[in-house]
Amino acid sequence: MATTFDTWLQTLQAGGKGGASVALKIATRGLAWEDVIEISGDWSDATIEGSIRAAPDAASVLAVVTVGSGSYEAGDDVTTFDVSLASGSGSNSTGILPSDTDGDGVEYLPIAFYMTLAPASQELLFGAAFPLTGKV
């Protein structure tokens, strides 16, 4: 997978903040997308926000990812967060995202998730390439 933001992905990976090592579920344009973020430890008090942009440093957000509350599983010592985008073509949906630009049927967009622990400030949790396939 080659993207126009590979340097950003490589920098994130080198800093332990995701990058190419993060594999998100593939989304299909116009259909609902759901995935799960799993973090070691008890982070159930944390707030996570996610967004997709046209470029890693773009000023405007293309879609805001819905992130559920953290659920701590003591036996596994992990906290999980459900993440999703709506179906259709409204705001914060897979259908509102840019269409394929090179004709290969897949568009990769930068996605980033930020964590906030009260009263601490927001920090980058991880960034990755969000894979979006066309709908035939």
Q: What are the backbone angles phi and psi of residue 2, rounded to the nearest 5°?
A: -110, 135
Question: pLDDT (tens digit, 9 = 90+) per residue, 9-57?
Answer: 999 999 999 999 899 999 999 999 999 999 999 999 999 999 999 999 9
- The rounded distance, in Å, linking the Cα atoms of 113 and 36 is 12
- The H or E element containing residue 11 is helix 6-14
Cis preceding-peptide flag for 119 (omega within 30 of 0): yes
Q: What domains does the chain contain, in order, with CATH numbers?
A: 6-130 (2.60.40)
Could you give the 3-state DSSP secondary structure of residue 113?
strand
Least confident span in 47-51, 98-102, 111-115, 124-128: 98-102
Q: Give the closest residue to 80 by CA, choosing from 67, 92, 64, 93.
A: 67
pTM: 0.94
